[in-house]
Amino acid sequence: MSDLSPLFEPYTFRSGVQVRNRLALAPMTTISADPDDNVSAAELEYIARRSTGVGLAITAVAYVTPGGKGFPGQIGAEHDGRLDSLRALASRIKAQGARAVLQIFHAGHNAPPELVGGDVTSASTVPSPQPGRGDVPVRALSGDEIRAIIADFGHATRRAAEAGFDGVEIHGANGYLIQQFVSGHSNRRDDEWGGPIEPRLAFPLAVIAEVRRAAAQAGTPFLIGYRFSPEEPHEQGLTMHDTFALLDALRAQELDYVHVSLQDYAGTPRRGGHPERSRLTQIAERLGDTPLIGVGNIWTAQDAAHALDLGATFVALGRALLLEPEWVQKVQAGRTDLRGTFSPDDREALTLPEPMWGMLTGFMLKDRLQAAPHPEPVTG
């Protein structure tokens, strides 16, 4: 049996933020915000329970500008009227002893037209590859609009700090706007924001710089993390070679951590890199001393320990914490009775908001389903 003690070692990030262990709550879409996109009471109960054992709790993603909303029931961080909502979220997480991180994004061409006034935007006019989205018109952002969105990431970071969060995670994964700029499939620009891989990195690097500028005003240690997806299946999509260029750029930023979005933490690359070595190991090697959060199909304590062995500094738990909110406490106590399945009668016992439960079980109400073509995958 693997030594589990590394999972429970404390850690101090470059920013000075300290965490009690190497386990994190993965950011998972709840589609359960109040109708005004403030955090709901059900979301607060859901995340508070799952923050009791982890060192780091990363929220469901919040949009930073109205045109960047990605799905219904999503929380907003796009104006100062959200501060009370964000304060409630941060305080419930921190009351459980975890560090609170607000994930922030712009959906880009994955935004449902009805949620953004029909004005779906991206790096270029390339439509979303999501099923059923091929005919949705996409408008390329102007240079001024790009700079305004970069500023909006900074404003959202400032709000997160004011609300008491310990940091933000820039969501550059899962095919949303930041990844759309990095990808040669979705970025066909010929200006300063497009071309070969190096200029395609200009947008995420500008976002990081703006977030860092805003975080510096916090007055207390404040985390900056970045999440990315290493590969895309489409033609001209991201390969591991592109990702290595991104990782080199991220390593130079000296971020607190980088968080890879994977379906399987031990999976191997499809295109580029070494075909027989895990993506996680190759990513960790490329990042050097930049901490790495690994995620994807981690269910047991042995899975989590193996992820550390492959090169992760931290392990994010998604579905495992959905089904076993006390996963961390049970593993630390040496227990192995971890729930791995659920029944239709388990929603209240698992403290899951009804819309999230509907998404998980496939019985979401028809009107919400029509408005949410493809929320961020719930992975762990």
Q: Report CA dihedral (286, 287, 293, 296) to the nearest 10 degrees.
A: -20
Give the C-alpha separation, 7 to 331, whole Å. 10
Joined tokens for residue 205 = 């690097």
Rounded to 5 degrees, φ, ψ at 167 are 175, 180
Q: For residue 335, which amino acid is it?
A: R
Alpha-helical runs (H) found in 232-318: 240-253, 279-287, 301-309
| 176 classed as catalytic | yes
Alpha-helical runs (H) found in 201-239: 202-215
Give the C-alpha separation, 77 to 277, whole Å. 39
Contact present, 257 and 292 (Cβ < 8 Å): yes
Sequence-distant (6+) residues with CB within 8 A of 71 are: 29, 31, 107, 112, 115, 371, 372, 373, 374, 375, 376
Contact present, 316 and 26 (Cβ < 8 Å): yes
| CA atoms 9, 350, 165, 316: torsion sign | positive
Q: Which of 176, 226, 257, 265 is catalytic?
A: 176
Contact present, 162 and 222 (Cβ < 8 Å): no
Give the C-alpha separation, 77 to 83, whole Å. 8
Contact present, 165 and 225 (Cβ < 8 Å): no
Contact present, 204 and 170 (Cβ < 8 Å): yes
Contact present, 154 and 356 (Cβ < 8 Å): no
Contact present, 136 and 209 (Cβ < 8 Å): no
Three-state DSSP state, 354: helix
Percent of the chain as helix, strand, coil, to the nearest 5? 35, 10, 50
Show which residues are catalytic: 176
